[in-house]
């Protein structure tokens, strides 16, 4: 029996004294409208779904909303939510000796059968360990006993789980809607049969559940130069390489018709409508575009029905159409027409993020402007056509000028442009091209008939290139910290127009992220030391300390340059070679060679480029008319 609450829960583990001592007590009180409460006596397995960041960020995560509902629709499984408490609450918890607890029941995490973490960003790893420490769960999987929860990791960072492999019992590789339920069902079955032990369960999961990666069941050896020599399974009956899971038909996949409504403002207080998964484009720096393949779309009728259900249950006045590139959805016109047939009447605005400049039209602009819209954002990624060809962006300057012209004609005066610096083969001329392109956007504003009277504002946001696993640039070296910072200063010197604002990511954070992104199991010692020394919220500027990170690496015997700043050999065993994401290494090597030849590759709908992902199958997958 399950119940959705519309009143404060009496299960809140924190006293009124504690809640009065912290900012935003609504982060911890529980009892939100839509949360799921179940009878503990009627459930056979309890799952604590942990988001390793603040409540406001975690409650905005679409994956958490989906998996919370997937598990809770099983009558004998109870999934509850857990977030990393903010610093003030952590101080109160230590003062009063309070463990980390779940929102719904108020029970400590040690009372659960499973503790699952979604790994969205490498810089959240210290939060994962901090949450385990707050929960009084042994950090390392090898130190956990039979009564400790099974600790599971999933999400995009699980595609290279090696830096945190020692802290997890099991990883969910790929999409979790079916797999998580299978893992919990296996646990219940073995408990009912009396065959359960921690070791037996992990072995059986690795053997029978596709996508289950149990790090302790694979030995890793290293060469004298520090590179990985081999991954060796400890049992003959588990896969030598773990193949990711995908949901083949998104129309029939679970999607929530109700969500938990927070008491405090979150990052995404809106309807999040997942339109499709995957990407046809093949940008050579983009991990998501590779690991989320193949493309699988939902039909407009299903999306419209899901949107109506969420509006009726939440009353949100904004809807975001979620995907990696929304304008690549093949039925976007039909979908927006169906949505606008009722969203206008209810004053619900449509937000279309991830718009490509080469497919942005006046018709699309008119549709998303019928009520209200936020400022428009485009991502040229590089300042020159040469470098855009290297990264396979497949857009040209005239595409951007046409797109911003449409925006200016529609009354927009502010545009945000995303770029990267430090990309492979980048020169100072490419960096200068970012400033030049922004200046041309300003010029285009003044050339536009009927432009707004308000002065234009172009915001240039520049991040640093980070070589990511399962991309054609996974072998590339990141620029040294000194070179990244030099390029950042050079770009600022090239921007002389006050109507151009430049925001640049902290290059020091990007360097640590690169170490963690391409790391192996030896990084576990550094992460454990960081946890013991109080590292947390490292993705937040106010808590990140580069010098402390360098000290931890040095004392743990880690050379950051080995992971971040060297070109890796194409025949080298990579830490993530234990995982099969569907895209073949041969394809990634071909794309790397094409990058150095400054040659673009057409998108998947124009031509099948043989990446390998379509072998995974799926309804409404990549274009069936693609030529081989």
Q: What is the DSSP string of 328-354?
A: G-TTHHHHHHHHHHHHTTTTPEEE--S
The full DSSP string for 391-415 is TT----HHHHHHHHHHHHHTT--EE
Average pLDDT of the chain, as a whole number:
93
Q: Can you tell me the distance from the alpha carbon of 166 to that of 307, in angstroms, rounded to the nearest whole number?
A: 41
Q: What is residue 51's DSSP assignment?
A: E
Q: Is the pLDDT of residue 369 over 90?
A: no
Residue 370: predicted pLDDT:
52
pLDDT at 619 over 50: no
pLDDT in tens, 412-424: 899 999 999 999 9
Q: Report pLDDT for 624.
A: 44
Angle at 469 between CA 463 and CA 475, to 5 degrees: 85
DSSP state, residue 267: T
Same fold, 2-243 and 270-372+598-628: no
pLDDT of 202 over the 60 cut: yes
Percent pLDDT > 70 in the chain is 95
The span from the CA of 408 to the CA of 485, in Å, is: 33
The residue whose two tokens read 């960072």 is: 157
What is the model's pLDDT at position 457?
95
> For position 5, what pLDDT does the model report?
46
Least confident among 70-74, 321-325, 487-491: 321-325
Per-residue pLDDT of 551-572, as tens digits, reads: 999 999 999 999 999 999 999 9
Q: What is the pLDDT of residues 66-115, one digit of tens each?
A: 999 999 999 999 999 999 999 999 999 999 999 999 999 999 999 999 99
Q: Give the separation between CA 608 and CA 473, rounded to whole angstroms.
A: 20
pLDDT at 620 over 70: no
CATH number of 2-243: 3.40.50.280
For residue 179, the number of C-alpha atoms closer than 13 Å in the C-beta half-sphere is 26
- Average pLDDT for 487-516: 97
Tell me whether residue 450 is exposed, middle or buried, using C-beta atoms within 10 angstroms of its C-beta: 0 to 12, 13 to 18, 19 or more: exposed
Whole-angstrom Cα distance, residue 438 to residue 430?
13
Say yes or no to pLDDT of 13 above 90.
no
Residue-range domain boundaries for the chain: 2-243, 270-372+598-628, 375-522+558-566
Query: Can you list the pairs that 605-614 forms with residues at least 24 positions away whose Cβ atoms lie under 8 Å?
Result: 605/280, 609/282, 611/282, 611/290, 611/293, 611/582, 611/583, 611/584, 611/587, 612/582, 612/583, 612/584, 612/587, 613/278, 613/293, 613/294, 613/582, 613/583, 614/293, 614/294
Which of the residue ranges 357-366, 478-487, 614-623 has the most confident prediction, judged by mean pLDDT?
478-487
CATH of 375-522+558-566, one of 3.40.630.20, 2.40.160.20, 3.30.750.200, 1.10.10.10: 3.30.750.200
State yes or no: pLDDT of 325 exceeds 70: yes
pTM above 0.75, yes or no: yes
- For residue 615, what pLDDT is reported? 76
CA–CA dist 205, 169 (Å, integer)? 11
Distance, CA of 181 to chain centre: 21
Q: Starting from the edge strand earliest in sequence, which strands make up the sheet with 271-274, in order?
A: 271-274, 318-322, 349-351
Helix (H) or strand (E) holding 91: helix 87-95
Confidence of residue 540 (pLDDT cuts 50, 70, 90): very high
Let me know: does 210 contact 180? Beta carbons within 8 Å: no
Better pLDDT: 590 or 409? 590
Consecutive H or E run containing 82: strand 77-83
Q: What is the pLDDT of residue 617?
A: 59
When pLDDT is cut at 50, 70 and 90, the band that residue 219 belongs to is very high
Q: What's the token pair of residue 275?
A: 């339109």
What does the alpha-carbon distance between residue 382 and residue 420 come to, in Å, rounded to a whole number? 6
pLDDT tens profile 396-414? 999 999 999 998 988 889 9
For the cut 80, the answer to whether the pLDDT of residue 374 exceeds it is no
- And the tokens for 25? 């007590």
User: What's the CATH number of domain 270-372+598-628, 2.70.50.60, 3.60.110.10, 3.30.750.210, 2.30.40.10?
Assistant: 3.30.750.210
pLDDT at 52: 98
- Is the per-residue pLDDT at 497 higher than 70? yes
The reported pLDDT for the residue numbered 558 is: 98
């Amino acid at each position: 029996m399950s119940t959705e609450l519309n009143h404060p829960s009496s299960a809140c583990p924190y006293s009124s004294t504690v809640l009065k001592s912290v900012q935003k007590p609504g982060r911890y009180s529980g009892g939100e409208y839509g949360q799921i409460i179940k009878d503990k006596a009627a459930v056979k397995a309890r799952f604590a779904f942990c988001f390793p960041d603040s409540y406001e960020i975690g409650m905005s995560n679409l994956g958490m909303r989906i998996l919370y509902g997937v598990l809770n629709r099983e009558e004998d499984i109870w999934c509850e939510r857990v977030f990393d408490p903010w610093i003030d609450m952590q101080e109160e918890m230590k003062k009063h000796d309070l463990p980390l607890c779940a929102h719904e029941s108020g029970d400590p995490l040690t009372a659960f059968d499973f503790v699952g973490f979604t790994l969205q960003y490498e810089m959240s790893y210290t939060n994962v360990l901090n949450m385990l420490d707050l929960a009084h769960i042994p950090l390392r999987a090898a130190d956990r006993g039979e009564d400790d929860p099974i600790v599971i990791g999933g999400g995009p960072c699980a595609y290279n789980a090696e830096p945190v492999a020692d802290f997890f019992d099991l990883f969910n590789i790929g999409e979790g809607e079916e797999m998580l339920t299978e893992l919990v069902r296996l646990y219940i079955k073995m408990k009912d049969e009396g065959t359960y032990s921690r070791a037996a369960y992990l072995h059986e999961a690795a053997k029978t559940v596709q996508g289950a990666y149990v790090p302790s069941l694979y030995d890793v050896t290293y060469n004298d130069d520090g590179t990985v020599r081999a991954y060796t399974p400890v049992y003959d009956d588990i896969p030598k390489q773990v193949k990711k899971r995908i949901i083949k038909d998104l129309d029939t996949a679970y999607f929530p018709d109700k969500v938990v409504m927070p008491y405090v403002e979150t990052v995404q207080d809106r309807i999040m409508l997942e339109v499709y998964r995957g990407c046809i484009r093949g940008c050579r720096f983009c991990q998501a575009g590779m690991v989320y393949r193949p493309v699988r779309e939902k039909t407009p009728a299903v999306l419209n029905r899901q949107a109506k259900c969420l509006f009726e249950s939440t009353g949100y006045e904004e809807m975001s159409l979620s995907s990696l590139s929304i304008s690549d959805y093949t039925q976007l016109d039909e979908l927006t027409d169906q949505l606008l047939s009722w969203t206008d009447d209810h004053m619900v605005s449509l937000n279309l993020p991830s718009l490509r400049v080469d497919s942005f039209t006046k018709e699309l602009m008119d549709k998303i402007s019928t009520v209200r819209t936020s400022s428009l954002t485009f991502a040229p990624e590089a300042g020159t056509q040469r470098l855009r060809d290297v990264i396979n962006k497949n857009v040209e300057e005239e595409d951007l000028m046409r797109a911003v012209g449409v925006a200016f004609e529609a009354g927009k005066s502010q545009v945000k442009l995303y770029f990267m610096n430090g990309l492979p083969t980048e020169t100072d001329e490419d960096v200068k091209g970012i400033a030049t392109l922004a200046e041309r956007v300003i010029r285009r504003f003044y050339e536009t008939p009927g432009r707004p009277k308000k002065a234009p504002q172009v915001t240039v946001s520049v991040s640093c290139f980070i070589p990511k696993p399962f991309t054609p640039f996974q072998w590339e070296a990141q620029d040294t910290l000194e070179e990244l910072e030099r390029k950042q200063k050079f770009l600022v010197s090239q921007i002389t127009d006050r109507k151009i604002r430049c925001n640049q990511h902290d290059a020091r954070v990007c360097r640590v992220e690169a170490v963690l992104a391409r790391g192996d199991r030896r990084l576990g010692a550094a992460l454990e030391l960081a946890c013991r020394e109080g590292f947390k919220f490292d993705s937040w500027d106010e808590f990140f300390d580069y010098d402390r990170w360098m000290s931890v690496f040095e004392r743990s015997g880690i050379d950051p340059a080995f992971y971040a700043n060297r070109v890796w050999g194409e025949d080298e065993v990579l830490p993530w070679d234990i995982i099969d994401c569907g895209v073949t290494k041969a394809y990634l090597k071909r794309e790397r060679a094409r990058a150095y030849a400054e040659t673009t590759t057409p998108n998947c709908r124009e031509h099948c480029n043989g990446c390998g992902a379509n072998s995974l199958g799926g309804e409404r997958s990549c274009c069936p008319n693609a030529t081989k």
